[in-house]
Structure 1
């Protein structure tokens, strides 16, 4: 949310007319004798608001608008909801990807299933039986070779068969040992990284979904609601304009003979039509640059028309008593 300092274009104190109308009210100032003297003079001014535009960073149809213009809302109050079908689907997809990655890591840690190990054991039993037969055959062929009953080639073939069957037995024994082991550390680390990536994608999807339902981050007045239900809201376009109490200020102008007696933090009284009592405020800004009341005639005779902008803010408790654009009269406490 961004704070912006402006009045509605249709307001009588809008940008083009504001300065002329306000400064025209300033000239009946009390005669002031010196720069440092205190005075009971009153200065004309107006109330201005620094509005907070509440928007979603994503586009969507306006499905719900929970507030209306002129309503005072507290911090955390639901303001509006944009349609979020796509964001909900993305969150569901990301959640499933997290579950898949976690299941794969758990599978790596447990090794092969018992049924798969039983298959390897059966294969080992077959290989052991074959190795026993080939070993026995090799012993018989060796005896036959010693008495000249078989050739050297037949003995070599019998020896190779016995060695091959014995190697097969060792291979299957190692397979069973490996099947009982979990995945390698590097594989588990890589899968753990996949889980973290999936969780980050889920967090991003949840964040996008949460930005489709917007609540007030601070208390204030709902000043305007530019969109209506069912309208398409572009990304970043304000759906609610709020005026927090701390963003209300009074702007008024004083002559060059008075500006030196005013300073930041000084208390003033704000008077307005219909206010049962003056509203206390404190000066927060004293302009360093002078302005001329119209008409602008650069001569020594127009020095009395030289004025300085002053800004003052009421307390948050008193701010709701004032309305942006409201003419006021300011005097020193």
Structure 2
């Protein structure tokens, strides 16, 4: 009887052990989800008419690759004009910053000396020699007029007897008129010299001298600082205008911000696109992850832990993932939790980022995360 009881007791113990183990290992060792990626909607800040579409739907593109070009219209001409304006403003600034050339300064000094000499001459008045010379010219003009008048009188008498021609008479008359005009000029010249310099002439000469001296001082000292600053501000404004046009031209070429795949594209040359509106969408295949939900009784997870992942397309392979997110709040929670069995129905969302297989895996593939093969976080992740 005792021999029969012993095997029965051994069998009972084994069953109890198996049951206990099965109770501890409740829940699946894997959770399922789908591979996902960021969807990026690409557009332009300026909008316009489509000139060329350089990719097709489903194409793999590199970061920075040109996707769409918009027509520039008059922006190219505006850029040329802005560049010319910038060159002119820069030349003005360079000229002001460099100051005047030595030759310009010497010319300004020579003008000061010339006007100063004229003012001194006006201040001193005419010299006696100048007055005497003017009197001599006036007397010579009187003699010339007397002779011209006699010649005209003689020609007039001879004309009556037809001894001289009409042409000879007219020539004598012209010489007399010229001599009279010359005498008038010489009389005025002598009167001015005898009267001396007028006050208004002195005032005008002094004003010219002050103006010339101010110009000379400006050239010696260089341009005022405020003029240089104004020129620099004008140059900066021209540069800003050119940069703004350049940015608008850059916006006319829509480039891929990441390496990815063209997900949706409904665009043809000639289409109009609005400013800041999306023209296509890309899937960023450089950052893939699996979104899954883990039961509460398997939530002994940490961010940074690694675990394998499998997909139906490659059933015999495992791809490493790293847990990058664990939700702090449960989802799909029953309305009234009273028993441990109901608590096990709570799930927490996790995100596992792929660290390998990015060139072979695609968004939308169904994936299984194997929780039973989790590795502890690396030293780097642990420190973080």
Shift of 1:270: 1.9
- Structure with higher Rg: it is 2
The DSSP-based 3-state class of the residue aligned with 2:368 is: strand
**Contact conserved, 1:127 with 1:168, CA < 8 A, in 2?**
no
Partner of 2:68: 80
1:62 aligns with 2:62: no
Among 47, 72, 92, the residue aligned to 2:80? 92
Matches within 5 A, 1:15-54: 33-34=23-24, 41-54=29-42
1:167 aligns with 2:206: yes
Shift of 1:324: 2.7
**Contact conserved, 2:126 with 2:193, CA < 8 A, in 1?**
no
Matches within 5 A, 1:106-117: 106-108=94-96, 111=100
Partner of 2:321: 281
CA distance in 2 between partners of 1:54 and 1:67 (Å):
13
Shift of 1:140: 7.9
Q: Please, which runs of 5 or more residues in structure 1 have no aligned partner?
A: 1-30, 143-153
Query: Mean alpha-carbon deviation: is it higher for 174-183 or for 266-275?
Result: 174-183
- Higher helix proportion: 2
Shift of 1:71: 2.1
CA distance in 1 between partners of 2:320 and 2:111 (Å):
93
Partner of 2:370: 331
CA distance in 2 between partners of 1:186 and 1:164 (Å):
32
Query: What is the count of residue pairs matched by the alignment?
Result: 285
Partner of 1:146: none
Shift of 1:280: 1.8
**Contact conserved, 2:125 with 2:197, CA < 8 A, in 1?**
no
1:76-123: per-residue Cα shift (whole Å, max 9, x none)? 2222222222433432232122122123335545659x89x9899799
CA distance in 2 between partners of 1:211 and 1:280 (Å):
39
CA distance in 1 between partners of 2:49 and 2:285 (Å):
30
RMSD across aligned positions (CA): 4.2
The DSSP-based 3-state class of the residue aligned with 2:327 is: strand
The DSSP-based 3-state class of the residue aligned with 1:262 is: coil
The DSSP-based 3-state class of the residue aligned with 1:244 is: strand
Among 254, 277, 295, the residue aligned to 1:237? 277
Among 192, 196, 201, the residue aligned to 1:158? 196
CA distance in 2 between partners of 1:69 and 1:288 (Å):
38
Shift of 1:130: 8.9
CA gap 1:298/1:119 in 2 versus in 1, 3 angstroms: closer
CA gap 1:174/1:271 in 2 versus in 1, 3 angstroms: same
The DSSP-based 3-state class of the residue aligned with 1:288 is: coil
CA distance in 2 between partners of 1:38 and 1:216 (Å):
47
Among 304, 308, 313, the residue aligned to 1:269? 308
**Contact conserved, 1:269 with 1:280, CA < 8 A, in 2?**
yes
CA gap 1:215/1:140 in 2 versus in 1, 3 angstroms: same
Shift of 1:250: 0.5
Partner of 1:103: 91
1:196 aligns with 2:227: no
1:34-69: per-residue Cα shift (whole Å, max 9, x none)? 4xx798722221222221222222211222222222
**Contact conserved, 2:262 with 2:280, CA < 8 A, in 1?**
yes
CA distance in 1 between partners of 2:40 and 2:251 (Å):
17
**Contact conserved, 1:74 with 1:220, CA < 8 A, in 2?**
yes
Partner of 1:6: none
